[in-house]
Structure 1
Amino acid sequence: MTNPLHDPKFFQDPYPTYAALRSASPVQRVPSGGGRSRYLVSGYAEARAALADPRLSKDTARFFANKNSGRNLHPAVSQSMLATDPPQHTRLRSLVTKAFTPGAIARLRPYIESVVGELLDSWAPDEQTDVIESLAAPLPVTVICQMLGVPEADRSTVRAWSNELFAAGQPERIDTASHAVAGYMADLIANKRRTPDDSLLNDLIRARDGEDRLSEDELVSLAVLLLVTGHETTTNFLGNAVLALLQHPDELDRLRKNPDDVPAVLDELLRFDSPVSTATFRFTAEAVTLGGTDIPAGVPVLVAIGAANRDPERFPSPDLLDLDRDAAAHLSFGHGIHRCVGASLARAEAEIALRAILARFPGMRLALPPDRLQWRRTRLMRGLEALPVLP
């Protein structure tokens, strides 16, 4: 039995594979190597249920206890807030959510607009430019680094480490990057203690939950998590959205004529080509029946967000980009208590960037045929290596 998610064609276009798997069964066992297996959830109803089911634990430390995985991930990455269950998860999340309230995001919008403007100033008409390298990657990196107080000189290095954390099938690279970024954030926290400022990192240093401060390990872990998730998802979101619109000229023309529609169509763009292909690690803390499939205790469960968002049972004609579709129920930011805490920031960045592109480059077009574009080889994220366009 081979794992269809290991096929090189899957990274270029996962949706035919997802459709075939979902047609066979919305929940099924797939091999994971070494004679082991895991369960893949590809149906929408089943994925939504799995994401909110407390019997599917995210406590990776518990799962890997007494298991010799051969990995050397830094605990700041392997045991982050994403890898915890309540009550620890509840406590940690409560300390960071205030940085992403509607009011906080509204105050950030002028800064985001200025960053977008500066980045687009570098685009020369009729000269090929890479949307990923010149906008989709630096925009969210700049914003989250500004929020955390990461010095400008360090931001390209931090971004490179973050990219390494998603190198599918290359555990040594991932482990090395995890130690590099965790070590950097530990040093930065020490510097912020010596020289406090008004950054989010200093807010976390001062944060309390009642009388309980964050421990040093928790501080480092939250800083790494915010740094990595604060830009990876948005980079893919923006790149995928621009590509989808360029491949659907009628929908693109509609937005050019009605730019105020951009906020309303973000959900459909997120659904159509989700920046997150597979949700982060979960396992069954006890035996679970999901979608009519019995899953024993102690087994990893992969929730395929990209597959769920294209389930025709929930979204008719799912392979069609329809900007009039009500796609608010998409799962690209997750569901339940682990829903992405920075979703509102990602939406603001994408909205501002798309509005600016539509206004400044009405004739933008792809510089390569779509089948020549290269996608990142990661089963967790769904994003382009590069998106060359002619503005």
Structure 2
Amino acid sequence: MTTSETLYSSNFKIGAYPFYKEQRAQQPVFPVGSENGYTSWIVTKYDHVKELLKSPSFMKDQSNLYPSSDRGNEAEKVNIFGNMMLDVDPPDHTRLRKLVQPSFNPKTIKQLEPRIREISDGLIEDMKKKEGSVNLVDDYAFPLPIIVISELLGVPAEDRDKFRKWSNTILAASSDSETEFVEDVEAFTTYLTDLFEKRREQPEDDLISQLLQTEEDGEQLSTNELYSMVVLLIIAGHETTVNLIANTMFALFEHPEQLKRVTQDHSLIPSAIEEGLRYYSPVDFSTARWSEADIDFHGNRIKRGDLVLASISSANRDEEKFENADQFDITRRRNAHVAFGFGIHFCLGAPLARLEGKIALEKLFDAFPDMDLNRTEPSPEWRQVFLLRGLDALPVRLSD
């Protein structure tokens, strides 16, 4: 049995794709450990992943399956995770998604384009002052989406950097970081409490004010749902886009002939982004699902209450779905990747992430057509965050 320690090991990200390939061939649905009589499973093949992500037999809300005494108390420690939209099933999921959907539909997102371009231009100008070498994560891929989602929500500019630390701690939470996790969650909660109070007293034209008004009108949004929704939008609203931009640029730097093509022909940028999403998927694994009943799933007996995860990265490299799946090809025509998920939990922010990615690459290629990896710096390394695939840093030389 492959153990969970294998997946959490410090070097797993480096060898993940060969590992996934072997699992797809030998044991595409495999167990990674058991606890309290329940088994955890990983699903790796494209078709199996889509089936898992859309099946009502695999539930997101474990409280519908486990007696409270059998469940961990992590969710009860704080009130910002208890009603996360990612972790509930219909009808609650339908209701929560409906509340924020208008702010993320393609027509609404399109209206943000001028501001996204303005933010990108400002970051580009700042990079031009840094004597030719930058960290593309810190100087561009991170600040662009965090500014956009912060402005959409109504978070003051001076507070944005706090979210990076809080987000990193929450996403990397583990037993050996329990103290830091609790402290950062408390800080996050206190910050949101203060911000909500300010918006109650003086509403503005932002999403937090809209959600607060919905709550105060008694229209289905509880206090815990409000906290969970805003935390989800802050974290998911920037983390995946940071990785989309940085991972795609990293793949282009690894394939200089394709970098040259897309730099010279911006019509290739949308397909380059889609290939970046497939090749180095920003989200490595789906969030957890639990089997509603004992079920036979592609040769495996999955019991009621077993935890099941979809390997998004593996599905997007499935050779049965993608021709030359391990090759990075910005001209790939059939690219039905699942980087944003599938089914009712398909990423709400996908239109925003794609628009930010498109503008980010356009602006970079216009400003720095000769940019390349700064090969005098250490090679980029993947962050040790289980659910995500993102780079710690991306050192870039902006010109020859």
TM-score by length of 1: 0.94
Match of 2:24 in 1: 22
Q: Distance in 2 between matches of 1:366 and 1:239?
A: 12
Q: Distance in 2 between matches of 1:16 and 1:180?
A: 40
Contact 2:171-2:385 at 8 Å conserved across structures: yes
Q: Which piece of structure 1 moves more, 32-41 or 89-98?
A: 32-41
Q: Distance in 2 between matches of 1:245 and 1:61?
A: 43
Match of 1:146 in 2: 151
Match of 2:257 in 1: 250
* CA drift at 1:207: 3.2
Match of 2:124 in 1: 120
Contact 1:239-1:384 at 8 Å conserved across structures: yes
Match of 2:97 in 1: 93
Match of 2:167 in 1: 162
Q: CA offsets per residue over residues 286-323 of structure 1, 9 Å max, x none?
A: 12222232211101001100011001011121110111
- Map of 1:138-287 to 2, 5 A cutoff? 138-167=143-172, 169=174, 170=176, 172=178, 173-207=180-214, 212-287=219-294
Secondary structure at the aligned position of 1:15 is classed as helix
Which blocks of at least 5 consecutive residues in structure 1 are unaligned? none
Kindly indicate whether residue 83 of structure 2 is the aligned counterpart of residue 79 of structure 1: yes
Q: Distance in 1 between matches of 2:216 and 2:353?
A: 26
Secondary structure at the aligned position of 1:28 is classed as strand
Give the alignment partner of residue 72 of structure 2, picking from 48, 54, 69.
69
Q: Distance in 1 between matches of 2:275 and 2:202?
A: 44
Secondary structure at the aligned position of 2:74 is classed as coil
Query: Between the two proteins, what is the percent identity of the paired residues?
Result: 36
Contact 2:253-2:259 at 8 Å conserved across structures: yes
TM-score by length of 2: 0.92
Q: CA offsets per residue over residues 196-241 of structure 1, 9 Å max, x none?
A: 1000111112238997341222111111111111001101111100
Contact 1:91-1:209 at 8 Å conserved across structures: no
* 1:357/1:201 CA distance change after superposition, 3 Å: same
* 1:340/1:369 CA distance change after superposition, 3 Å: farther
- Map of 1:296-335 to 2, 5 A cutoff? 296-335=303-342
Which blocks of at least 5 consecutive residues in structure 2 are unaligned? none
Secondary structure at the aligned position of 1:348 is classed as helix
Give the alignment partner of residue 49 of structure 2, picking from 33, 47, 50.
47
* 1:86/1:382 CA distance change after superposition, 3 Å: same
* CA drift at 1:24: 1.4
* 1:117/1:376 CA distance change after superposition, 3 Å: same
Contact 2:241-2:357 at 8 Å conserved across structures: yes
Q: Distance in 2 between matches of 1:57 and 1:370?
A: 45
Q: Distance in 2 between matches of 1:98 and 1:17?
A: 40
Q: CA offsets per residue over residues 349-390 of structure 1, 9 Å max, x none?
A: 010000111111111111138983221101100000100010
Structure 1: which amino acid aligns with 2:91?
A: P
Contact 1:48-1:335 at 8 Å conserved across structures: yes
* CA drift at 1:101: 1.3
* 1:14/1:108 CA distance change after superposition, 3 Å: same
Contact 2:268-2:330 at 8 Å conserved across structures: no
